[in-house]
Structure 1
Amino acid sequence: MTPADRPTRYRRQSDAELSRMEIMEGAALCFEARGFAATSIDEVAARIGSTKGRIYHHYASKSELFLDVYRTGMRLIFEAVEPHIEADLPAFDRLRAMLKAHVLCVLRTKPFQNVVRQGVDMLRHGVMPAREHAELIQLARLRDSYSDHFLTVLEQARAEGAIDYQNIKIALNSVFMCLNGPIVWFTPRDGQTEEEIDLLADECVLYTLRLLGQAAAPSRPLPSPKSHQGEPA
């Protein structure tokens, strides 16, 4: 069993089914474009060229589908960052690797990460029925556990003298504001290469580290300004 197939607390055993992932990918695009309230199962079915029946075979309701997309967004982020959490490296190098893995995943799976952000707002505003609200609370706890990995490495990197901050909570929230910024401003372009995505991720990491008092120069040239000055990236 490969890591992608292995069930974790961020995924259900049955999520490995391709048809289910296709549904979630279509749903993520719909939720990203119109939001949870305005999206219908009919729209999701039209997006993937299928029928409502196929979706209802897997999901009893739109809320259940939304929560599965949320859970999958969390799983994708965790699986991207997990290999770096316990890497045998100085804390600053682990931090930099974790930042890069996180923002790359945001760029590559933006619709899913947009749904995660929507889920956070929905929990704050209490717009889900009681059962679904309880699951939002569970997913929020998973997000907190994920954030704790960054909190730990931030503290370790500060102890090494590699970064500095006054308040760990403010530092942590500032880090995630920078890393998750592409959810708001990034628009994938036709023909955009993996190298361009990688360069964008490097630039996001650079600015994140500067927030933490790290003024190291970028390791390679940054993307041309024409790609994201006054225009979506």
Structure 2
Amino acid sequence: MQTTTGMMAAAQPSKYRRQADAGLSRMEIMEGAALCFEERGFAATSLDHVAARIRSTKGRIYHHYGSKAELFLDVFRAGMMMNFAAIEPILAADMPAIDRLKALVKAHVLSVIRTKPFQNVVWEGVDMLRQGAMRDREHDELTDLARLRDDYAVHFQEVLDRAREAGDIRYRTVKIALNTLFMCMNGPIIWFTPRDGQGEDEIEAIADECVLYAMRLLNYAGDLP
């Protein structure tokens, strides 16, 4: 299975690339931090935990980040960039709306599975925003990141509307349909646990099954994996 670092190095599209690329060392810090935040949550994680995870020192972390909150926000941002990278080729492809929808759902599920620690941070960050759990400056940046998440969801909403117009799916309220779809697609954040030796075929099968359930929720009656 492709590593998180490999995905970022190979697949990050220019449209969503950050203004400055700080290189592999920054990404290694984010990977270690994502694992720590996933295991402990933001409040219980310290930069000492992150330094121990990457077998380095806090000084190396402080060279890139001024605080734990700044690091958390960068991990959140990276998690969203990974999702955008996963779906952008599908958005650019010429295909019927229903096929685009199925492809988008699978791409998102695969991104969640392959970058699960980062997606946990996105999940926690949205919850922290609701609770007002960060100081004003960090809260403002978290709000901006949540808008990025909203922009991501718009791509799904647009294809939902087109697929419904084509008569392939049925729903009454697009907001409810969209939220239900994301609950299904983000399910692996909660229940998926990677295993040693788990092959790509098994990951693909899990994603296909998630597509099946998601499309059935939208009253799709056509062919599915």
For normalisation by structure 2, the TM-score amounts to 0.92
Structure 1 counterpart of 2:18? 11
- In the alignment, structure 1 segments of 5+ residues that lack a partner are 220-233
C-alpha displacement of 1:7:
5.2
- Which residue of 144, 162, 173 maps to 2:179? 173
- Equivalent residues in 2 for 1:52-63 (5 A)? 52-63=58-69
Partners in 1 of 2:195 and 2:209 — Cα distance?
18
Partners in 2 of 1:73 and 1:36 — Cα distance?
15
Q: 8 Å contact 2:12–2:82 — kept in the other structure?
A: no
Structure 2 counterpart of 1:32? 38
Deviations 1:102-161 (A, max 9, x none): 000000000000000000001001111111100011111111111011000000000011
The share of aligned pairs that are identical, in percent, is 65
Structure 1 counterpart of 2:141? 135
Matched, 1:195 2:201: yes
Structure 1 counterpart of 2:6? none
Q: 8 Å contact 2:65–2:71 — kept in the other structure?
A: yes
- Which residue of 189, 192, 203 maps to 1:186? 192
Give the residue type in structure 1 aligned to 2:72: F
For normalisation by structure 1, the TM-score amounts to 0.89
Structure 2 counterpart of 1:230? none
Structure 2 counterpart of 1:93? 99
Matched, 1:151 2:157: yes
Structure 2 counterpart of 1:116? 122
Partners in 2 of 1:6 and 1:90 — Cα distance?
23
Partners in 2 of 1:48 and 1:167 — Cα distance?
46
- In the alignment, structure 2 segments of 5+ residues that lack a partner are 1-8
Partners in 2 of 1:47 and 1:105 — Cα distance?
23
Partners in 2 of 1:109 and 1:201 — Cα distance?
14
Question: What is the RMSD computed on CA atoms of the aligned residues?
Answer: 1.5
Give the residue type in structure 1 aligned to 2:95: L
Out of 5-14 and 124-133, give the one that drifted further. Answer: 5-14
Structure 2 counterpart of 1:41? 47
Structure 2 counterpart of 1:80? 86
Structure 1 counterpart of 2:217? 211
- Which residue of 159, 166, 191 maps to 1:160? 166
Number of residue-to-residue matches in the alignment: 217
